[in-house]
Amino acid sequence: WVTNEIIHNPLVNENLAKMGFEFVKTNEDGIKDFTVVQKGDVVILPAFGASIDEMAFLKDQGVQIVDTTCPWVSKVWQSVEKSKDKGHTAIIHGKYAHEETIATMSFAKKYLVVKNMDEAEYVVQYMLGKGDREEFMAKFAKAMPEGFDPDVDLDKVGVANQTTMLKGETELVGKLFERTMIRKFGPQEVDQHFVSFNTICDATQERQDAMYKMFGAEYEAPSSTLYAEMEGEQVGIELKSEKQGPGLSSRAMEDEVRGEAGEAAAAPTKVDLCLVVGGFNSSNTFQLGEIS
C-alpha cells in the first residue's frame, strides 16, 4: 500500500500501480480509508510524509512501514516540533490542503498557514492592531487549528515552509514576522517572541533560477511595502533569520546519489517553446510553467 501519490508525477504513480502497489483511497472530507490495511501489510509513506495520527495508527496496526519522506520535509517537522514546547506558533508558508503541509501541521501544537506575501502581510497587520478579529477567523478558518486565538497565539512565532514554495518568498515572510516582533517588543526582547526555523530547501529555487537563465532573464525577488517600511525604521538591527548559516543543500544530496552533474549545454539565444515535464497537480511544475 501507498498512503498517497508517492510524488506528484502521474507516470511514477502509474508505474507503481502496474507493479502491484495499491493506493489508500481518500473520501470527500480528505480522510484516508485505512480499513483496507491489514496486519503484516507493507505500507509506503510518500515523499510528502504522513501526519502523526496516520503514522501512529499504522504502527498500532502492526504493518511494515517503508518511509520515503523527503529529508527536507523531515527537517521542517523536527524544527516545528522542537519549538512547540516553548510556546511558539508555527507560521507555515504553504498551502493548507497540500499533503506536506497537512503533515507539518500535525507536528505543531499551534499553527497558521499563509500561502503568500499578501496573507503574511494581512496577519502582520492584525498583529499590529489593524485588523478585524471576525474577518481574520473567517479568512484563515481552514488554515489554523480548532481553538486558535490570534490575540494570544501570535505572541510567539517561528516561520517554517512547505518545501516546494519559492525560497525567496519564504525568506521574506520570515524576515517580515521577525521585524514585526521587533516593532512590537523591541530588539532586546525579540528572542523571546521569534524563532527562525531555517527550513528552506534550495531545490525549488535552483530549478526556477535555471529557467530564468534559459530565457536570459533574472529572478525578481518578492517585495513588500510593509517590510520596507519596518526595515527603514530598524536600520542597524541584525536579523536572526539573516545571520544563520546556509540551510539544506539539494545539490549536495543529488550529487551524492546520482553523481556530480556535468556542464549544461549553452542556452539558445531565443526560446520559442518551453516544455515543462511534470504532474498537473505538482506545485513545482506549476511554478515552472508560470515562469515559462
Tell me the average pLDDT of the chain: 87
Q: How far is CA 274 from the centre of its chain?
A: 27
Write down the catalytic residue from 100, 121, 169, 178.
100
Return the domain boundaries, the chain.
10-67, 71-259+266-291
CA dist., res. 48 & res. 7, Å (int) = 7
The reply to whether 100 belongs to the active site is yes
The helix/strand/coil state of 181 is: helix
Q: What is the CA radius of gyration of the chain?
A: 21
pLDDT score for 222 = 85
Tell whether domain 71-259+266-291 is in CATH 1.20.1050.10.
no
Q: What is the pLDDT of residue 271?
A: 83
82-99 pLDDT, tens per residue?
A: 888 889 999 999 999 988
3-state SS track over 9-64: CHHHHHHHHHCCCCECCECCCCCECHHHCCCCCEEEECCCCCCHHHHHHHHHCCCE
In DSSP terms, 111 is beta-bridged to: 90
For 160-183, what is each residue's pLDDT tens digit?
988 888 878 989 999 999 999 999
pTM of the model: 0.85
Q: Which residue has the cell 500535525?
A: 106
Position 252 pLDDT exceeds 70 = no
Of 27-41, 96-110, 199-213, 274-288, which gets the smallest average pLDDT? 199-213
